[in-house]
Amino acid sequence: MADGWRRRRLSHPPSVIRCRLRGELVSRSPIISVRGVVNRFGSQVVHDGVDLDVYAGEVLGIVGGSGSGKSVLLRTMLGLHRPNAGQVYVEEQDITTMPETELLKVKRRYGVTFQHGALFSSLTVAENVQLPIREYFAASPAALEQLTQLRLRMVGLPLDAAGKLPSQLSGGMVKRAALARALALDPTLLFLDEPTAGLDPISAAAFDDLILYLQRGLHLTVVMITHDLDTIVKTCDRVAVLVDRKIVVDTLDGIMRNDHPWIAECVHGPRARAVQTAGGSR
């Protein structure tokens, strides 16, 4: 079993690249490698041989049209969905063939926020944040209280939000509370599904800043699905575009020069121009 994945691993050696991250030239090996993933639902092929590497400490944006399989790809990387073919390596371990108990251990190192927050509606914000900690560790109530406070401070929520139910929060606060819960176990990997969808521009910009701030402070690796061009310009080191059941990964500049019709329309269309002329530079 273990030899199996090692052999397969060798046939696809990790592509060590030299990439510009935060201005410094560094060599990194990928923390997540997606190799030849195929996802089919009935006769509909969503992914047909998708390769993707996520490097430690980067912010990777996944972009694509509606129905292009962004969420499916994210779920595949999270181990929530087994692909029809292909492998997903998280730190050199193939999670697609991993037994369920091993997979749970890997999942514990992820923080995930879902598109609509997915906060448990019958629990308060504090209980939502504490749930994973309670589940795994025997922390005393006092420590739980302290850790909750830290998470709330980290995501910039007022401390009196702790006692509120998700239904009493505004959209922006729900996103922040979801982020606080995602950070509950001090993950090194953060997956965000449309973090700024449904937020007003000012809240969205504040949320982008928050993600960057936490990413730098905690040295997180962030993979996010987003439709928001502002978010991509501001936060992403590299962009992965899902087109024609394949993936194109490049830096934002590279994507801008790509001449695929959908990508060109996406980054040079009227909406994109508005963002660029508004001075989205990094």
Partner 1 sequence: MLLEPETTADALVLRLRGVWRIDNIAAIEAVLGGLELEGHARVRIDCSAIEALDLSAVWLLQRRIEQAQANGADVEFVGRVPEHFAFIREIVERGAEGAPSQPAPRTLTDFVVWVGRMSVLQIQQARRALIFLGRTVITALGALRSLHRLRLASITRHVYETGIQAIPIVALIAFLISVIVAYLGAQQLRQFGAEIFTVDLVAIAVLRELGVLLTAIIVAGRSGSAFAAEIGVMRLNDEIDALQSMGIDHFETLVLPRMIGLVIALPLLTIVADFMGLAGGALLSALLLDISLSQFIPRVQDALAPTTFWAGLIKAPVFAVVIAMVGCYRGLQVRSSSRELGRLTTVAVVQSIFLVIFVDAVFAVVFVELDF
SS3 193: strand
CB nearer partner 1, residue 17 or residue 143: 143
CB nearer partner 1, residue 45 or residue 139: 139
CA distance 238 to 249: 7
Long-range contacts of 89-92 (CB under 8 A, 24+ apart): 89/9, 89/30, 89/32, 89/33, 89/34, 89/35, 90/31, 90/32, 91/31, 91/32, 92/9, 92/14
The distance of closest approach from Cβ of residue 124 to partner 1 in the complex, given in angstroms and rounded to an integer, is 10
- Residue 136: other Cβ atoms inside 10 A: 12
DSSP string, 266-282: HHHSHHHHHHHHTT---
Measured CA to CA in angstroms, residue 115 lies from 63, 217, 232, 268, 279 at distances of: 14, 24, 17, 26, 27
The distance of closest approach from Cβ of residue 51 to partner 1 in the complex, given in angstroms and rounded to an integer, is 31
CB nearer partner 1, residue 167 or residue 277: 167
Q: Hey, what are 25's tokens?
A: 């030239």
CB nearer partner 1, residue 145 or residue 250: 145
CB nearer partner 1, residue 29 or residue 149: 149
The distance of closest approach from Cβ of residue 104 to partner 1 in the complex, given in angstroms and rounded to an integer, is 14
Which residues, in sequence order, are bridge partners of residue 172? none
CB nearer partner 1, residue 151 or residue 238: 151
The distance of closest approach from Cβ of residue 184 to partner 1 in the complex, given in angstroms and rounded to an integer, is 8
The distance of closest approach from Cβ of residue 218 to partner 1 in the complex, given in angstroms and rounded to an integer, is 6
The distance of closest approach from Cβ of residue 244 to partner 1 in the complex, given in angstroms and rounded to an integer, is 34
The distance of closest approach from Cβ of residue 232 to partner 1 in the complex, given in angstroms and rounded to an integer, is 25
CB nearer partner 1, residue 184 or residue 239: 184
Nearest CA among 53, 27, 34, 12 for reference residue 221: 53
Residues at the contact surface with partner 1, assessed by CB under 8 A: 121-122, 133, 136-140, 143, 145-147, 149-150, 152-154, 156-163, 165-167, 185-186, 217-218
65 CB-near residues (< 8 Å, 6+ apart): 242, 243, 262
Helices (H) and strands (E) in the chain, counts: 11, 12
Phi, psi of 256 (to 5 degrees): -60, -35
